[in-house]
Amino acid sequence: MDIACSTRLEFSLVHSLYARVFLAVVLFSLLLVQVAAAQCDSTSQSAETLHGLYSQQKWEEVVTAAERLQSRSADVEFEFGMALAHLQRWSESRIALLAGRKTCPQDKRFPTELAGVAFQQKHYSEAAHWIQIALRLDPMDEYANEFAGTVFLLLGNLDAAVQHWNRIQKPAIDQLQFDPSLSVQRLLLERAFVFSPQAIMRRDQLLETQARLDAMGIFPSYSIRLDAREGGKFAAQFHAIERNGFGNGWLQSVVSVASGLPYETIYPSYFNLNHSATNIDSLLRWDAQKRRVWISVSGPWHYQPKWRWKITADGRDENWELSSANNKNLPALGSFKLKRESARAALTTIQSGRFQWAIGADLSHRTYTNVTSGPALNPDLVSAGTGITQVAEAHALLLDLPDHRLRMEGFASSEFNRLWSSPARLFEKVQGRTTLSWRPRAEGDRYEFMQRVRGGGTAGSPPIDELWMVGVERDNDLWLRGHVGTRDGKKGSAPMADRFFLSNTDFYRSVWSNGLLDFKAGPLLDIARTSAPTPGLAPQQWLFDIGAQLKITVLGTGVVLTYGRDLRTGNNAFYGSVAQH
């Protein structure tokens, strides 16, 4: 009984102590709120006198009266700052408004007017920063949204401008104007634009328009500009650099076609055939170890940019030599010669600016000769035969923050394969990808960050050329940049995986640009984990590569130079490739 009573007494004392502490915290919080309210609002005689001068727009007298005060409330700081702004004393106005915001941080007037001061000084990036803070306090403020739209439009960020204007039922489009120098058929171009004159341009409409223009493949660079008209309406003007034929001018054509000559490759491509946004891309490689002929033809379905068909043919004649990804000095783990011919047809539909999907089918035939068995190469991996593949893909915009120039995209694909070999087999490949891109500055592309995460897996027993190569190689996009995918020109030295995880982190800084040449450089970090159907094809451990990358763009053709270092083995990899823009 004594123990029970003692326990209850202790509990009662503790409970009473907690109650008193809680009450003290509540009273202290209320006191702080009252103090803050007193600082935000002032009813002193001096403040009332200053307010009277402010109401009469006697800006010089407001400034003189405010400067005499030993302490100023938030209201006084606001009127002081606004009077200084009317006198165009921008730096002093900014200091006063910042002081008022420090006193009363939840008052949206201060960030709104700080944005106005920055705007008057043509500091548009700073103005965007402050107006975003004001909108976090009141997202539906009509003036702030109107201001934000104007600022972001001046910064060249149409997506953010339209997002803010949509909250106040703007922008109203008066007319849609196209650059008269564009040669693509006007019907196609008009159908690519989802928004129309005499209506409000909606953000979703703008996203879908951009997706259709990107899918046409003939505009490496374009812009949609809004030009203010009377009555608060806008003319939407479309300007673009257009690809036509082999290129715009002989110099661009030569650079585009011959950019792969250092590694025995040319890229003959023809754009905008018959002004119909029908494009022909091709590749011809005469490298003795990996010959390849590839051609792709794509165009809009029945003059509808929402739908796009694509037909691809690919022929390869390659020599493979499998080697350890961790130790290049070990003997080969197997070798063979692969001949593969395939043809694919696919249809893509742009459901909206946030979602696209595609379906297709692939017919292929492969043969393996000069097979030398090894620890990593068994007969199941080199089964010749004819195969058919059903393909399904989806692409989605997962995160879209145009104010911060940040977006995340997702991609998923499934390939179900039937291979008539000896014996016949079924297998499926599933792959997913997310890409996060961010430009931290409100204006320009001086800095750019990109994070890409990919993963994939197989079910069944695919042949070796259907495994994923995780390394740097021209026919492969799963780059682990400290691991080169070839040795002595033969494929097979990078990890060959039936399951993989790959993370690529890139940071770029614009180094120099003059309109024709553009240089970007920055560090990189790659992280991968792989598994393989046989020992030796891929290491069963985490892989880490660091390095640096340089991007050079010449007349629309990009040259990428990379240096990667494998942190596990210390191996270095230097690589150069070409990307068409």
Three-state SS string across 453-516, please? EEEEEEEECCCHHHCEECCECCCCCCCCCCCECEECCEECCCCEECEEEEEEEEEEEEEEECCC
Residue 25's pLDDT is 47
The two beta strands, 499-513 and 517-531, are antiparallel
**Does 299 share its domain with 415?**
yes
3-state secondary structure of 194: coil
Decide if 115 is inside a domain. Answer: no
Q: How far apart are CA 36 and CA 487, in angstroms?
A: 70
350 vs 20, which has greater pLDDT? 350
> Tens digit of pLDDT for each residue in 171-213?
999 999 999 999 999 999 999 999 988 899 999 999 999 999 9
Q: 28-34 — which CB contacts under 8 Å span 24+ positions?
A: none
61-70, 112-121, 129-138: which has the minimum mean pLDDT? 61-70
Distance from first CA to last CA of the chain, Å, rounded?
Answer: 86
Statement to judge: residues 374 and 233 lie in one domain:
no
For the chain, how big is the Rg over CA atoms in Å? 32
Whether 68 is covered by a domain: the verdict is no
Task: Please check whether residues 281 and 332 belong to one and the same domain.
Answer: yes
Residues 260 and 229 in one domain: no
Asked if residue 306 is part of any domain, the answer here is yes
In a domain, 493, yes or no: yes
- Residue 23 banded pLDDT, cuts 50, 70, 90: low
Residue 205 shares a structural domain with residue 324: no
pLDDT of residue 444: 86
Enumerate the β-bridge partners of residue 321: 335
Q: Domain holding 189: CATH number?
A: 3.10.20.310
Q: Are 264 and 234 found together in one domain?
A: no
pTM: 0.88
Residue for token pair 């043919």 = 313
pLDDT of residue 325: 60
**Highest mean pLDDT range out of 65-74, 120-129, 248-257, 370-379?**
120-129
Query: Where among 241, 270, 295 does a domain terminate?
Result: 241
**Residue 407, SS3 per DSSP:** strand
For the chain, percent of residues with pLDDT exceeding 70 = 91
Range of the domain at 176: 172-241
Residues 362 and 226 in one domain: no
**Is there a domain that residue 434 lies in?**
yes
Long-range pairs of 399-403 with CB within 8 A, sequence gap ≥ 24? 399/436, 400/159, 400/207, 400/354, 402/152, 402/157, 402/159, 402/160, 402/163, 403/128, 403/132, 403/152, 403/157, 403/160, 403/163
Q: Which of 217, 241, 265 is the last residue of a domain?
A: 241
Residue 342 domain flag: yes
User: Do 296 and 342 share a structural domain?
Assistant: yes
Same domain, 459 and 364: yes
Is 3 a residue whose pLDDT tops 90?
no
Q: How many domains does the chain have?
A: 3
pLDDT band per the 50, 70, 90 thresholds, residue 14: very low
Report yes or no on 354 lying in a domain: yes
**Which tens digit of pLDDT belongs to each residue from 270-293?**
999 999 999 999 999 999 999 999
Question: Is residue 235 domain-shared with residue 291, that is, in the same domain?
Answer: no
Handedness of CA 88, 92, 97, 98 (dihedral sign): positive
578 band by pLDDT with thresholds 50, 70 and 90: confident
